[in-house]
Structure 1
Amino acid sequence: MKNIKTKSTSLLAMSVVALTFISCKPFEKPFDPDKKGWTLVFSDEFDGQYIDDNKWAFEVNCWGGGNNEAQCYTDRPENAYVEDGVLTIKAIREAYTGPVYNPDDPRYDPSNMNTKSFTSARLRSVSPVEYIDGQPAQFNFENDWKYGRFEIRAKLPSGQGTWPAIWMLPTDWEFGGWAMSGEIDIMEAVNLKSTYVDEETGETKVENRVHGTLHYGRAWPGNVYSGVEYDFGDERINPSDDFHIYSIEWEEGAIRWFVDNHHYATQTQEGWYTHYKDENGVWRSSEMTPAPFNQNFHLIMNLAMGGNWAANVNEGGIDPAINEAELLIDYVRVYQCEKDETGVACGSKGKEGSYTLESGVVEPELPIAADFNADPLVIFDGQLAANWQMAKWDDADGGDEYAIRDGLIDLKFDQTGVMYLYGDQGNTFDATPYGGGEYRFKIRWVDGDATGLKVGFSNTAGSFAHVVLDQQYFGMKGAEGWTDVVIPVSDMLLNAPGFDLTSVDISGKFEQVGGSQLNIQIKDLQMSKGEYVPIETDAYGYELELLTETIGSGFDAYLYHGYGEASTDSLTIIEGVMSGQHNGGGNISIGSTSGHIDLSAFAQGQLNFELRIASFGSAADVLVKMDGGWPNVGDVALSETPTGMPTNNEWHSYSVNVADFVANNNRLDGSGNFELSHVINPFVIEAFGGGDLHVDVRNVTLTRPLHLLSTEFAAGFDGFLYHGYNEPWTDTLTISNGVMNGTHSGGGNISIGSSGAAVDLSSLANADIAFDLRIVNQGSASDVLIKIDSGWPNLGDVALSETSQSMPIDSNWVSYAIPVSQFVANNNRLDGSGVLNLSSVINAFVVEAFGGGDLEVEVRNVRYQF
């Protein structure tokens, strides 16, 4: 089975194509298969005691269906069972942890886990040949079909956040990944019995609609969809109150949808298409053929909770009162046309005008090639090159629109959408030759009140190399003319430290900044070549001193006047104390003397300082900020910290996570996106509300952790095994999935040490060594020692029995955090002759059996942290 993005963005971006709807009461006439020549080829009446594993297989994952859904799918009987002739698929509100991907997914990794707030079930009409935990699964795809009538009698759940679906996916993905090979949605419904506002009438209604939809086109996010809503009409009739029959008739070139045998919609091959590569790698079009709906598909039934569709419409989110929800299936029946394998002869064509004929989506031009060695690399010159396609990530309001016409790209943003040029099927290119070049295009500002545009490109890791252009930069001519924009690629990379240029998949990404709407047009987009020299992101060690006895090297103190009495503002530094007074909106700060600096290495670190308020004035609070240039500012209020607001003239110590500044992106107007790689002032103090403030600060530092072992060893470090005096051939050291397992006998140890020269860890003197540890076999050891080693006899050790967590028992994982100062104090207690030298550490983390015994131990998440 290929790597697919199942049901991603399903019916989310409602502006891709309008969904028509029909309002009718159910038609009660029973279906007579013999009259039309249909033969029953598969059925499950659910009359037994168990789910038939010759017909159905469970999916087991906590992926979220590609739609940010809130459930884990399990194979537990609590989530799916047969009783009284009915299959029940039940969603249950409970925290549950499971594998991210299904066992037959190429991305499956049993150690890659995720936690969701619901459990549920998803069944597909295949049976497992082998299903061994931890190994790729094999399935029997006998229960799949090309063409036929598919009939499911079901009762749907109600409530905001519920999302039942009965649908079909291709078995062999003949044309490529989702949705190139298509998807058929027989029935979907969201939020039944919640309320929604009718867009045409403005009337508030009770949700009682179901949806029939096709997905096709290109690989995500170039997929499109078209479909029809079925409104039960009378709000007293709701598909969650009783069983109804949901059917499709699928024949060569056409698919029809039915509710209770009432034909309400048809789509034909004139309205769908697929773009795919042939065996020679040449792009082809389905060209009005039945493709992609001319291959074998299998059935899927599931109940999702929340996600990009259900949680973003009607009343929003998931109703907190819902603890359980049930999708009930009475039967599943599949018929095929006995006398015509295409199904055409048996189909119920219906009277013209009695159903909606959905016209589908206009097919775009095929992708064209690009020369990735050219200078410049042409991305768009009236047509997209290199198999790129235009796509969008809407904010669920359906207001964002894009179009390629008249030799330009027209982008209309509404609130917070994102538009981008995406490599089809995830295709990437190596942009290394262009890393030192220029990114250029022509642009004109047509309309809108946005404050600017974020523009750049992204890679497969999700990093976004970009700059923010304000309206004055490129909008002076408005709609009357074009402005040439030339941006050094290196400027974009400043906002994406560590950006991998070898795997660029989004060649152009555009995001509205501020305001409510923006309409811009772009043309002649290209990148020129140039050598790129990466910025050193690790230049400051593990502690950056901004203010100790004096201001740190490369920094200075600054006073910014507000709108009040500037003559009374003052700033002094005496004996390591910076005293600042400002009035009416100003601030005091410690900033770089050389412009922007890269502090991205401190993303998981802390800003530490001591502060006292000499005079609070009329301010409502005190803000601490990190400043990359307006509006790229992150702030934290002292009242929000665990320490809280200090009282007058009393010193208080603060340690604020740098991540909190990044998370609080300029909360005054929400237009900022604070980037640590582009900082001007790493420490700013300001009165909240523009009041007066007189404050003293001292001991201002930035500190960051050293991750010795996360998923792998840190750069410059490795795992080592030191043999003891007893049977060294039995000693082992392995690392798998971020866990280091070591066995040693008779006085040896396992360690994480420098793979080169000794390293200086003196800036971590006030940190803790944190790690998870479990004892697999304690052997004859009486205790376990943790050590820091700067070369015998210069060692510091701490016994696990001396810690507050004590020794682990019963092979359980235990988390430890031991102050480095404790290792310094315990200088080689074996003979007392050592002096631990943190400026010249050989082994930063050592595990050893006390008393020279045997030991097997596992450790993970080893780090020095503040």
Structure 2
Amino acid sequence: MLKNMPNKVFWATGACLTATVLIGCGTDFTSGNDNTGGGDKPTDPMIVFDGNLNSNWEYYDCCGGGSIVTTSDSMKGNVLKFSIIDGETTVGLEAGSVVDHSEIESEGTIDFSMKIERMPTESDDYKWSFTLRSLGDEQVMISIEQSDMDATGVWYDFSFPLSELANEGLNTSTIDRISMTPSWGKGTGAVYYMTDIIFTDGSGSSEPGDEDDHALLTISDESNGWSVYTSSENGRAFFEDSGDLGYANAVKYEISGAENAGMIAQGIEYFDGSEHVDEGVLSFDLKVLTEAVDPESLWEMKVRSNADSAEEVVYVNLIDMSKDQAEPVVGEWVNYTFNLSDLGDEGVDLSAIDRVAIYPTYGKGDGAVYYVANVSFYAEGAFVHDPIDPDPAPELVHKITDGDDANIFAIDGNSYYWSEETVRFLLTGTGAQAVFKIPDAPLDVSAINNEGVLTFDLRLRVDSTALSDPSDWVIRFDPTSGWEDAVVLSLLDSDEGSLPVRDEWVSYTIDLSKFESAGLDLSDLSRFYVYPVAGEAAGINYDISYVHFYDSKVLINNN
């Protein structure tokens, strides 16, 4: 009788034993162009297929009713794809010369991984059968109950001891055929994948967990206590069938306004990946349906631990830290994989992860629609980052928002700091102005005149009493010589080229070279202003945050 061993699935001839089924990840499938697996072909007799087909083995289709190709899987790499077109056929692999594994018969195994894309379509009365044949038609067929492989898009691992197969009649010294097929005559329509078809000497199967490279947690619906969300009521997040094979149960996000979106653990213990810090990974697949309206929006991931601990929230650019560093592509699935160790280094408590959010830059994601699927934590899969020569990070040169009420005032209005770097202006007169005095003037930023930028966030408050919003806003600097030599630009001169919207934060970036071209001496800055154009200020209330100078372009994200 075949028996269970750690982290493997074993079945006996004609009867299914209790099995540990480990869930894998649906992935992108691209048909190969050859029928041999391509690449360097292994010659080790222990390896049948490890992404490339052993030079001693070839595709086998007994009756011409099937199709076998090599294709790509973003989790497993190269895999074999089997399609049953006519149910009266058997497909598999056949050796050119027999393989002798009698020396490892006592402890050895035959292992492989399998994933079903589509079940047989013309019959529900079938079983899957694994067959290993030896020369002279001595073969052992192991039947697997349908109920034990009833999920599509899931990787199942199998391992069969050679000693038990020999007891059933296999001659382990003359092995020449391997197949895995639905019941004869009942398999029409089935599509499935196999990989890592390997004979082992048994030395790798010792303690439970030694080969646990499968999902520790997969978020495929809300049954495991993880819920999907958007951070405001404007957007939507919900599970639906994406219509793509391997991504059936995806989360669809629709972003409206300034919000983040993701998955959160509610009412359950947080995910603990601390035992897998060295080798573990977080992986998911992203398909962008509609890009955000703002072309400067970037895709980000936020990982949080210990609920509301502000110190344990990490923002990650999807491209910079992921394995393949791939850009999202509209209409295509792209896989992103991150080392748990990298997230830990950034400050995440890996023993208490409670949120994973994937979204375009906060405040710049309006209009984005996308799917996220196969969000999983794995015990193995860690990778080494390719060496890169990144652009130097923008350097913060100076802050104008310094938290000191003595350095701000409103002409015809009121002003005060209501948080460390956020000023609230309440304007009453039609010609009111909001003023920042720069301490220790003059401020000299001339050294960054070519690449430097001014950035700030602005929100037109919903409690403004003006009947209409301003038609334009002024950005102004005064030199030490006074207001007569002031230089004025419009908010429309910013990279964003837009005006504030009530109750929404907007981040603005303006090239310092624009001020210089307008006549401003960047070495002699005394005061900074942002206010509505003359005659339109009365009743306008607004907040300004993070008024900063940087030495190069920077994307601000304070959410």
Shorter-chain TM-score bucket reads: 0.3 to 0.5
Query: Which structure's relative contact order is higher, taking Cα pairs within 8 Å and 6+ residues apart?
Result: 2
* TM-score, length-scaled by structure 2: 0.33
Q: TM-score, normalised by structure 1?
A: 0.22
